[in-house]
Amino acid sequence: MTSDTATGADVPASRPEPFAPRAEPAVLEDLRARLRATRWPDAPEDAGWSLGADVAYLRELADYWADGFDWPAQEARLALLPRYRARVGGLGIHFVHARAAAPHGSALPLVLCHGWPDSFWRYSKVVALLTDPGAHGGDPADAFDVVVPDIPGYGYSERPTGPPLSSLDVAGLWADLMTTLGYERFGAAGGDMGSHVSRYLALDHPDRVVAVHRTDGGLPAFTGDPAELSAEEREWIERAGAWGASEGAYGAMHRTKPQTAAFGLTDSPVGLAAWIVEKLRGWSDCGGDIESVYTKDEILTAVMLYWLTGTIGSSMRMYHANAAIDPAQLARRVEVPSGFSLFRGDVVRPPRAWLARTTNLAYVSEPERGGHFAPFEQPERYARELREFFRPFRRSGSR
């Protein structure tokens, strides 16, 4: 049984069913027509990316999207992942569930938690690396059973019809999902919004989460005496505030009036792409050249998972829900063993002192390459980070 996220009533979880969506040709033709009819904004000469999405690049991307991009081929590639849907907490949840390639007593169940503006897409390159490390230069004993769910209102998971869900709510759903899949003990990992979800999994289910790995520490929330903080921590909080002032307008919109932006982003594929692509470029370790990290096909696949499902509005509403979380929740210390891989190209990286203050810190590394979407940008390195961190905790997990 799971708890309905809207009513709190116990509802039966359904058996997972294989899931392989196919976009109808008429839907793709409508998309192409909208792309070709785009009403383009003007821009100051040589503005580039300085004021947001670059008009010249978006024109180039839209031309390829309309006349060169092969969505059925990308859909077929994603269908190679073992994907399912099940009802959990009264909602239809889409997820990847890939078991370790060969039976092994040390295989650890692992739930991977994505953020915004992405979906299960974030982890699509690392599933094979984690389930079959022996085939990719690793130790077969480091294999995982991997579960990658789409947050409700993202990707192919059902959109909540009532109040939007917070990261705290989603953590409860993922605990229920792991029960549905037969996993009593498991590891959790995530970044961005998924970092918060993983944190709440560890906080609220410490008897089940053997260890938690994150690629960021979130934005700082500290209400104590600043004199208690180290100079490094105070500097980081100042940097985070400056980042919020210069780069956080999107978050303010999501937290306050997400429905207003949802009209344009749901109606215009180029508008949707601009909203997402600007973040893929700005938050990735690409030196300003987005296609040094992502191909056009990869970029457009990430965008299509929002376009086809109509989930940009529901994904943004999660920020509104998170803003309403009781501040006392933000002050809780994670006692489950915690590890962090702080990729050098990510935004607002916390100092070790802050991580030790807020978690039972067991592991910190700082990979030289990779940014906010590290599992997609640097899949081999990300997979190695997870193997190394979780290795001491495998005996605590169960299948």
pLDDT at position 224: 81
d(CA 33, CA 26): 10
pLDDT at position 7: 40
Q: Tens digits of per-residue pLDDT, 256-305?
A: 999 999 999 999 999 999 999 999 999 999 999 999 999 999 999 999 99
pLDDT at position 9: 44
pLDDT at position 102: 74
Decide if 33 contacts 23 (C-beta within 8 A).
no
Decide if 116 contacts 106 (C-beta within 8 A).
no
Tokens read off for 243: 């980042």
Decide if 23 contacts 308 (C-beta within 8 A).
yes
* Domain range list for the chain: 2-37+49-394
pLDDT at position 103: 64
Decide if 44 contacts 270 (C-beta within 8 A).
no
pLDDT at position 246: 94
Domain spanning 2-37+49-394, CATH class: alpha beta
pLDDT at position 385: 98
pLDDT at position 33: 98
pLDDT, mean of each 10-residue run, the chain (399 residues)? 49 83 98 98 95 97 98 98 97 97 81 98 98 94 97 98 96 98 97 97 98 94 85 91 93 97 98 98 97 98 98 98 95 97 95 96 98 98 98 70
- pTM, 2 dp: 0.94
Decide if 321 contacts 347 (C-beta within 8 A).
no
pLDDT at position 219: 85
pLDDT at position 226: 85
